[in-house]
């Protein structure tokens, strides 16, 4: 997968103007770009979704350096996508479905959403915690989503699992709404994980904050992943 060829949304203003209807919105950052170099299904999911947002300053800068087809003007985090879509739905009223995470996290999401978005009916589904779902698992997830018939669907199972699941089962989802794969946003919104303070976000250092908070889990992604991303981009430049 080449960053040069990807169609990436340029700004939050574009997100605000997205048409209604069934569409898949994924995010891309340095880590997911690295993973997609060796995961063909993940790469296919990112390339063939309806929209791709630049969830990392590294993606924005790399697109400029490569003179890529897409020239995002700003980083758009999964959190930004979440807020934009939820606020739009709250204005007109409707139903939002959260698929992923634990019952504990989903319960916290339901409680907070009642206060933040009173015009949104929230339904949730916690899938089995396992590396791969069985056919029965997938059928149950799809049925829960289709029966709910939501006006907005969030999928949060971490990358690349969430993107591959949504892409692989896209035709089975008989829905009419925007679908976002937003991973850690479930925990951020529930309050079970803390997002970097504003200063760190504004200075493109959210990755460093996450590394400091969770070094054992994040060191490989950033200490090894960041130089690997530069190497992958350099190969495209050549």
Higher pLDDT among residues 54 and 217, named by residue? 54
92-125, pLDDT tens digit by residue? 999 999 999 999 999 999 999 999 999 999 999 9
pTM of the model: 0.94
Q: Is the pLDDT of residue 61 over 80?
A: yes
Share of the chain above pLDDT 70, in %: 100
Q: Is the pLDDT of residue 221 over 80?
A: yes
143-182, pLDDT tens digit by residue? 999 999 999 999 999 899 999 999 999 999 999 999 999 9
Structure tokens at 193: 């994980």
Q: Is the pLDDT of residue 238 over 90?
A: no
- Decide: 130 and 157 in contact? Cβ < 8 Å: no
Residue 237: what pLDDT?
A: 81
Count Cβ atoms within 10 A of the Cβ of residue 9 and give its class: 0-12 exposed, 13-18 middle, 19 or more buried. buried
- Which of these, 154, 67, 166, lies nearest to 109 by C-alpha position? 154
* Residue-level length of the chain: 238
- Report the pLDDT averaged over residues 17-27: 96
Mean pLDDT over the full length of the chain: 94
Structure tokens at 65: 């350096």
Domain boundaries, the chain: 3-237
64-91, pLDDT tens digit by residue? 999 999 999 999 999 999 999 999 999 9
Q: Is the pLDDT of residue 202 over 90?
A: no
């Amino acid at each position: 997968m080449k960053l040069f060829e990807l169609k990436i949304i340029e700004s939050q203003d574009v997100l605000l103007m997205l048409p209604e209807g069934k569409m898949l919105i994924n995010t891309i950052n340095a880590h997911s770009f690295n993973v997609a170099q060796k995961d063909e299904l993940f790469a296919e999911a990112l390339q063939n979704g309806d929209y791709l947002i630049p969830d990392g300053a590294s993606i924005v800068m790399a697109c400029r350096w490569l003179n890529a087809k897409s020239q995002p003007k700003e980083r758009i985090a999964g959190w930004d996508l979440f807020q934009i879509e939820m606020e739009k739905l709250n204005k007109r009223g409707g139903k939002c479905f959260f698929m992923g995470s634990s019952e504990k996290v989903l319960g916290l999401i339901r409680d907070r959403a009642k206060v933040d978005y009173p015009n949104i009916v929230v339904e949730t589904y916690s899938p089995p915690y396992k590396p791969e779902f069985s056919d029965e698992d997938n059928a149950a997830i799809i049925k829960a989503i289709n029966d709910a018939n939501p006006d907005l669907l969030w999928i949060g199972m971490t990358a690349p699992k969430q993107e591959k699941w949504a892409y692989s089962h896209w035709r089975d989802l008989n829905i009419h709404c925007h679908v976002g794969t937003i991973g850690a946003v479930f925990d951020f919104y529930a309050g079970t994980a803390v997002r970097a303070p504003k200063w760190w976000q504004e200075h493109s250092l959210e990755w460093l904050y996450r590394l400091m908070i969770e070094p054992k889990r994040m060191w490989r992604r950033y200490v090894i992943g960041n130089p690997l991303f530069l190497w992958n981009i350099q190969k495209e430049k050549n």
